[in-house]
Amino acid sequence: MEFATALIASRKCGGPRACPSAKRQRSLVATPLTVGVLALLLTACDKPPPPPPASPPPPEQQQPLELKVLTVEGPSTHYAEKDGSQAGLEHDLVRLFADEIRASVSFEVQPSVEAVVPMVAQGRAHFAAAGIAITPVTEKLLRFALPYQTVQQQVVSNPRLAPPKGFEDLLGKRLVVSAGSPQIESLHAAKKEYPSLAWTELRTTDPMLPMQLVAEGQADAALTDSRFGSLATNYYPRLRAFDSGPELPIAWAFPKDGDISLLWQAQNFFARIAYDGTLARLVDRYYGHSDNLAAADVQHLLEKMVTVLPRYRQLFQEGQRLTGIDWRLLAALAYQESHWDPLATSFAGVRGIMMLTDDTADRLKVTDRLDPKQAIPAGARYLAELRDQLPEQVREPDRTWMALAAYNMGYGHLNGARTIAPKEGLEPQWWNALKELLPKLSQPAYAARLKAGPARGGEAVRMVENVRTYYDILQRFQPPYDPTGSTTAQH
């Protein structure tokens, strides 16, 4: 039996692969559904959403609504930032939706999707935003809004295990999977054909744990999906991820007998944000940079994280004390610039661990760019200055990504790109819009529109995306730093 057959039975519309879905960048969603595709999805599948309700009363006659939303902790759903604020793709989508319908939100974090599904089915919340996949089992219990993302089932294994062609290749292997994940359905279906198939279900809020166990030799393979399989190969570059089944749509889940008008509002919301680019921007924030490094690049960082980073950790933490910028982001920037080599020199004459120009060093009163004690705090201050120059409408994290681009190409070129953006139909306050424009700045037609002249904008984009990935890796393996010392956990 192939994975696709075991994972999901055919539906009247042909199964999830036959229903239109978001285009994925390699193994990860990168492009949202278009409105035309959304319309097809509404009409092509066997269970279209209900008709729109009667027109609601005027806003002044409506009772304030507090949405109760179930979610789970995780990088793709809901988590706490270092400053205590909440983030996550699902979290951000819910907040935008609540603002649109003038509602407040109460998030209730559950230990797993396995716990969320029956709670929604029982009507114990308005809906769940927990990365729930639309499968035959979940469709029987819940009603779904329009999918906003698709994921591919993957097997993640170490290099000693040959690429599995089907579940028969996993017989006798130590297989791990997150409890409550859609992969459990796939395994139970396969077990009917392969009774000896066995696996261990991990009850954890860390979706990376199955892959971590494989990397540490405590398991032979993990069954996951492309959201986490691609990230895992960044954290553990010796692992290999193999697609092993059809794509599954991810959507918000509503009770079968819940508020029809609320479901219809959610349908309209997802249609709008797919059309105006909001969905693409949010997906880019969390996933847009995760697939750009080769395994050798990641392995090199992990080795230097052990052998070199300890020499400079306190200096990066000093940079955090001066600027409030996470020391791990500063370390990621320095690694991208110099691979933590204090003697590095580029063909353009920038030098040192933070690759400062001579003019920038002079302005920051750095007498020796090759001295990390001077260069690292100065580089942190320079990045903070660039970030602070951006207008207020540029919010985080886009503000930091633009500051990193300016660190590479200069603030004048970045500001020039932001000036051009509206004329190209792009929003200058979003990084994913500038990512599209910056590589064009080396072309004569665009360079002529810049006061600062042509720029290597493509290089700046690659630099920012690499730094974002290095930062993710350092956050995985290095503890945060608290300058007050109250909750500091250091190596």
How many C-beta neighbours within 10 Å does residue 280 have?
A: 20
Active site residue 337: yes
Rounded Cα distance, 66 and 69, in Å = 9
Cβ contact 124:236 at 8 Å: no
List of residues 6+ apart from 329 with CB closer than 8 A: 400, 467, 471
Rounded Cα distance, 28 and 95, in Å = 23
Distances, alpha carbon 337 to alpha carbons 198, 304, 342, 375, in Å:
46, 14, 10, 12
With residues binned 3-state (H G I as helix, E B as strand, rest as coil), the percentages for the chain, rounded to 5, are 45, 15, 40
Rounded Cα distance, 203 and 209, in Å = 10
Residues in the chain: 491
Q: What is the DSSP letter of 211?
A: H
Q: What single-letter amino acid sits at 45?
A: C
Which of 226, 227, 175 has the alpha carbon at shortest distance from 197? 175
Cβ contact 211:224 at 8 Å: yes
CA dihedral defined by 16, 17, 21, 22, rounded to 10 degrees?
120
Rounded Cα distance, 379 and 357, in Å = 10
**Sign of the CA dihedral running 423, 426, 427, 433:** negative
Exposed, middle or buried, 190 (CB in 10 Å: 0-12/13-18/19+)?
Answer: buried
Residue 230 belongs to what H/E stretch?
helix 226-235
How many C-beta neighbours within 10 Å does residue 352 have?
A: 26
Cβ contact 132:250 at 8 Å: yes
Point out the catalytic residue in the list 318, 337, 427, 465. Answer: 337
Q: Are strands 221-225 and 253-255 parallel, antiparallel or unpaired?
A: unpaired
Listing from the earlier edge strand, what are the strands of the sheet with 200-202?
Answer: 200-202, 175-178, 221-225, 149-157, 240-250
Rounded Cα distance, 271 and 283, in Å = 15
Q: Which backbone phi and psi does 227 adopt, to 5 degrees?
A: -60, -40
Tokens of 405: 């681009």
Tokens of 306: 């052990």
SS3 state of residue 393 = coil
Residue 491 belongs to what H/E stretch?
none
The residues that are catalytic are 337
